[in-house]
Structure 1
Amino acid sequence: MNNNSSKVIEILRTKRGKAVSGEQISSTLGISRSAVWKQIKALREKGYRISARSRFGYCLEEEPDHLDQETLAALGIIYRDSVDSTNLVARRLAEEGAPDFTTIIAEQQLSGKGRLGRSWLSPAGSGLWFSIIYRPAALTPAAVSPVTLVTAAVLADYLSREFNLSIQIKWPNDLQVDSKKIAGILTEIKGEPDRIDYLVIGIGLNVNQRADDFSPEIANIATSLAIETKMKIKRTDLLINLRQELLNAYSLFEKEGFTPFRQIWIDHNITLDRQVKINWPGGSMSGLAVGLSDEGLLILKDAHDQIHQFSYGEVS
């Protein structure tokens, strides 16, 4: 935060709940009204909720929940204020030899990545946008393919228990509450047909967004923990707990595969026992989702009672 932004916040804090005119801020700081607006805009982008009231001025409504950098650093978690994508940072660090379970968290992603090349909205001060480098040296690419399902199962189970919510999994990587998306997972792999160099598991979790934080295009299909619980969540604590749950799960996954997580995934899923259409680059298939294999493959029965298994795709 630059010096003028800090001064603007201090002025608004002294009048918390009351409006301060742009003219007053301009006069106090010795900057133009236009410069004041630029500072307000920059502060909003950092997660400060500042309302603008015609003929009255600016009012500080709420300050962002900043991630605790010292606490994260003590746990070896790499913090970045703003990045294009935590997955991109993680991949670069992995190429440089970063160890197993290296974790990168960003306050804001400018080009957050979702599956199939989609973007993921990742504003500052509101969510958890992080990536974990995973090096399961003993596993082949085929054996590690269910890791996205493992991640989804662990997240859904923990969040449901911790916040008394019904978190549902839409195969393979979406977490939802009442059909509204609350989290997504993007897994990327680097390796050869017979070995794995590393995986990068990216997670985007909507935490403290309010309903009006979402654009009209996604307002009806997105939600956050704060919306569902009507509470503001301490993101640093949540990140630490989620990360530990995931590291424990990945260690178990290396030893026992997908089996310990299969029933958890089934308990939270909203895909099985439904007529679905699976889309993948270059094709699609419709049928009844009848099960999930021990290897994490989605089992589909088509109109001719033929069985098909899928390791990836998008369900609609």
Structure 2
Amino acid sequence: MNIIKLNAIDSTNSYLKQLAKETQLQDETVVVTNKQLSGRGQMGNGWSSREGQSLTFSIFKVFNGLLAERQFAISMAVSLGIAAAMNELNIPNISIKWPNDILSAKRKIGGILIENVLEGNFVKQAVIGIGINVNETHFLKLPQAGSLKLATGKTFQLDEVRQIILKSVFDNLEMLSQNDFLEMKQLYENHLFQKEKVSVFETPTASHFNGIIKGVSEIGELLVDTENQGFRKFQLKEVKLIF
């Protein structure tokens, strides 16, 4: 593991992507920053973090033989790796909100942004951004946000938390193969927030409908048994879970 530590930067993902274009990066290179100025999340959302109270870092990972059609396996592996790390840290009620938000007792404590580079039918490499709310206790206008400290009442050492997460995530990424895919998918579904419960969903046009999450497809679509339209598959920008 090669760790690059920076004091402040706009986005660890953007920095690592540019670095990968300019140099021959070592597999499992990690970029860590104390202060991220323009963090990015899924679907163009921002990711705000407070200096000295949260973790923001990005991972460069090389893949061999991972089919592009199964690239969602990376998201599952990273999500499950963070979930396992949270369990090791005794953070209660951990679940994964599709596709890869990490929750503790229905509050978001972590987010993931994965940007893959494809070569033919395979994933060549990925830059994986991870943000974890560790010791924050106040979130302005973010009622669903949480942190490790709010979940446990304890103050955590950032370096220790990061090392536990990195080990767990890298262990999971090493297990990615065709043989492990279905087993990993089952484990991911077991962690899905609101699985088998009636939930409210919102479409891009702001309409709402009820449905029950049943799992995910092999390409990462959310499988929902809807109240009025039967069984449907949704991609990332097609539906939002309201909770």
TM-score interval (norm. to shorter):
0.7 to 0.9
User: Which amino acid letter does the alignment assign opposite residue 213 of structure 2?
Assistant: A
After superposition, the Cα gap between the structure-2 partners of 1:126 and 1:299, relative to the gap in structure 1 and judged at 3 Å, is same
**2:201 equivalent among 267, 277, 294:** 277
Q: Deviations over 1:34-53 (max 9, x none)?
A: xxxxxxxxxxxxxxxxxxxx
Match of 2:97 in 1: 170
Judge conservation of contact 2:71–2:219 (CA < 8 Å) in 1. Answer: no
Aligned residues: 238
Match of 2:144 in 1: 221
Q: Name structure 1 gaps, 5 residues minimum.
A: 1-74
Aligned-pair CA distance for 1:307: 3.1
* Structure 1 vs Structure 2 CA RMSD: 2.6
Judge conservation of contact 1:136–1:254 (CA < 8 Å) in 2. Answer: no
Match of 2:164 in 1: 241
Within 1, Cα distance between the matches of 2:111 and 2:155? 20
Judge conservation of contact 1:145–1:311 (CA < 8 Å) in 2. Answer: no
Within 2, Cα distance between the matches of 1:178 and 1:311? 25
Match of 1:199 in 2: 126
Is 1:315 matched up with 2:241?
A: yes
Match of 2:191 in 1: 268
Match of 1:143 in 2: 70
Is 1:77 matched up with 2:77?
A: no
Structure whose alpha-carbon radius of gyration is higher: 1
Within 1, Cα distance between the matches of 2:123 and 2:207? 28
Is 1:288 matched up with 2:203?
A: no
After superposition, the Cα gap between the structure-2 partners of 1:269 and 1:196, relative to the gap in structure 1 and judged at 3 Å, is closer
Q: Deviations over 1:148-207 (max 9, x none)?
A: 122112211320232241112111121112222110111112225523332111110001
Trace 1:69-108 onto structure 2 (pairs within 5 A). 75-96=1-22, 97-108=24-35
Q: Deviations over 1:260-302 (max 9, x none)?
A: 3334323332232233426469999863322234554421233
Comparing 291-300 with 243-252, which one deviates more in the overlay?
291-300
**2:83 equivalent among 111, 134, 156:** 156
Within 2, Cα distance between the matches of 1:291 and 1:197? 27
Judge conservation of contact 2:73–2:176 (CA < 8 Å) in 1. Answer: no
After superposition, the Cα gap between the structure-2 partners of 1:126 and 1:290, relative to the gap in structure 1 and judged at 3 Å, is same
Aligned-pair CA distance for 1:246: 0.9
Comparing 262-271 with 90-99, which one deviates more in the overlay?
262-271
Task: Name the SS of the counterpart of 1:154 in structure 2.
Answer: helix
TM-score (norm 2): 0.86
User: Which amino acid letter does the alignment assign opposite residue 79 of structure 1?
Assistant: K
| Larger RCO (CA under 8 A, 6+ residues apart) | 2
Match of 1:300 in 2: 224
Task: Name the SS of the counterpart of 2:82 in structure 1.
Answer: helix
Q: Name structure 2 gaps, 5 residues minimum.
A: none
Within 2, Cα distance between the matches of 1:194 and 1:284? 36
Match of 2:52 in 1: 125
Judge conservation of contact 2:80–2:172 (CA < 8 Å) in 1. Answer: no
After superposition, the Cα gap between the structure-2 partners of 1:269 and 1:134, relative to the gap in structure 1 and judged at 3 Å, is same
After superposition, the Cα gap between the structure-2 partners of 1:123 and 1:260, relative to the gap in structure 1 and judged at 3 Å, is same
Judge conservation of contact 2:79–2:100 (CA < 8 Å) in 1. Answer: yes
Match of 2:174 in 1: 251
Match of 1:185 in 2: 112
Aligned-pair CA distance for 1:227: 1.8
After superposition, the Cα gap between the structure-2 partners of 1:191 and 1:304, relative to the gap in structure 1 and judged at 3 Å, is same
Aligned-pair CA distance for 1:311: 4.7
After superposition, the Cα gap between the structure-2 partners of 1:223 and 1:164, relative to the gap in structure 1 and judged at 3 Å, is closer
More helix per residue? 1
After superposition, the Cα gap between the structure-2 partners of 1:139 and 1:282, relative to the gap in structure 1 and judged at 3 Å, is farther
TM-score (norm 1): 0.68
Comparing 295-304 with 153-162, which one deviates more in the overlay?
295-304
